[in-house]
């Protein structure tokens, strides 16, 4: 069994909860309130800025030029491609939040930044993988089961799309290579990091659905 299949199995209960979350259910049927989607897009734009930094930092820790370039390309895609999708929604929906990161976004971005900076390259890659793989799986699931017409079609098409799929496959291949070469101890820490990021993915969607703000 590939190492990434072990990761998938370890976090499968979390993934199932993500797929069934009302945010994604309503995205699929196109019934998600626009205010919720706007809040999510704003939070996600803050997320992407830090995600890109975490990818670039992780890349500098790789031992090959090829993987450094892959991670720099992932970071560039987060800023240019994903961010462009967000910009289009900022313009279409007149999004002008200034509230800053909600707790769900804050926790996730800080985890990714800390892990890519202070953990080993292997653990950093495992922590970053759910950002690719879970979005691809959710995008594919929604695309295959969506109600059309759907006001969130561009979002659905982006994450179910081929271009994003190519990046996901590259991230999976890197993680498999690292997992196969790692010691048992490092592999366990990779599983833990993958699981933590998967949980933080759930929290991010849940935070957006609840229009989460700081309690104080």
Ligand X SMILES: Cc1ncc(CN)c(N)n1
Residues making contact with ligand X (CB under 6 A): 44, 47-48, 82, 131, 135, 201, 204
Residue with tokens 């982006």: 158
Q: Judged by CB, which is closer to ligand X: 153, or 181? A: 153
Nearest to 134 by CA among 31, 13, 2, 3: 13
> Least distance (Å) from ligand X to the CB of residue 132?
6
Nearer to ligand X, 112 or 182 (CB): 112
The CB-of-168 to ligand X minimum distance in angstroms stands at 9
Q: What are the start-end ranges of the H helices in the chain? A: 3-10, 12-20, 22-29, 34-60, 65-77, 83-93, 103-118, 121-145, 153-160, 162-181, 184-209
Alpha-carbon gap, residue 106 to 64, rounded angstroms: 31
Comparing CB distances to ligand X, the nearer of 153 and 188 is 153
**CA–CA separation, 21 vs 205, rounded Å?**
8
Task: Please say which residue, 44 or 122, places its beta carbon nearer to ligand X.
Answer: 44
Question: What is d(CA 130, CA 68) in angstroms, rounded to the nearest whole number?
Answer: 19
Residue 67 CB neighbours (<10 A): 20
* Nearer to ligand X (CB atom), residue 137 or residue 187: 137
To the nearest whole angstrom, how small is the minimum distance from the Cβ of residue 216 to ligand X? 24
Distance CA(180)–CA(33), nearest Å, equals 44
Is 105 in a helix, a strand, or coil? Answer: helix
How many residues comprise the chain? Answer: 216
């Amino acid at each position: 069994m590939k190492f990434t299949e072990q990761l998938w199995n370890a976090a499968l209960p979390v993934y199932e909860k993500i797929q069934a979350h009302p945010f994604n259910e309503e995205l699929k049927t196109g019934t998600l309130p626009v205010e919720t989607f706007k809040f999510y897009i704003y939070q996600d734009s803050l997320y992407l800025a830090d995600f890109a930094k975490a990818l670039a930092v992780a890349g500098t820790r790789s031992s090959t030029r090829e993987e450094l370039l892959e991670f720099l390309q992932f970071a560039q895609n987060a800023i240019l491609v994903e961010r462009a999708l967000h910009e289009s929604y900022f313009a279409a929906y007149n999004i002008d939040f200034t509230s800053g990161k909600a707790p769900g976004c804050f926790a996730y971005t800080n985890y990714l930044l800390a892990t890519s900076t202070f953990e080993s390259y292997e653990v950093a890659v495992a922590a970053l993988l759910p950002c690719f793989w879970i979005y691809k799986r959710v995008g594919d699931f929604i695309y295959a089961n969506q109600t059309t017409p759907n006001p969130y079609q561009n979002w659905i098409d982006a994450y179910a799309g081929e271009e994003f799929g190519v990046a996901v496959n590259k991230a999976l291949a890197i993680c498999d290579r690292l997992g196969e070469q790692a010691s048992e101890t490092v592999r366990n820490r990779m599983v833990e990091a993958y699981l933590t990021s998967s949980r933080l993915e759930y929290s991010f969607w849940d935070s957006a659905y609840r229009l989460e703000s700081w309690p104080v």
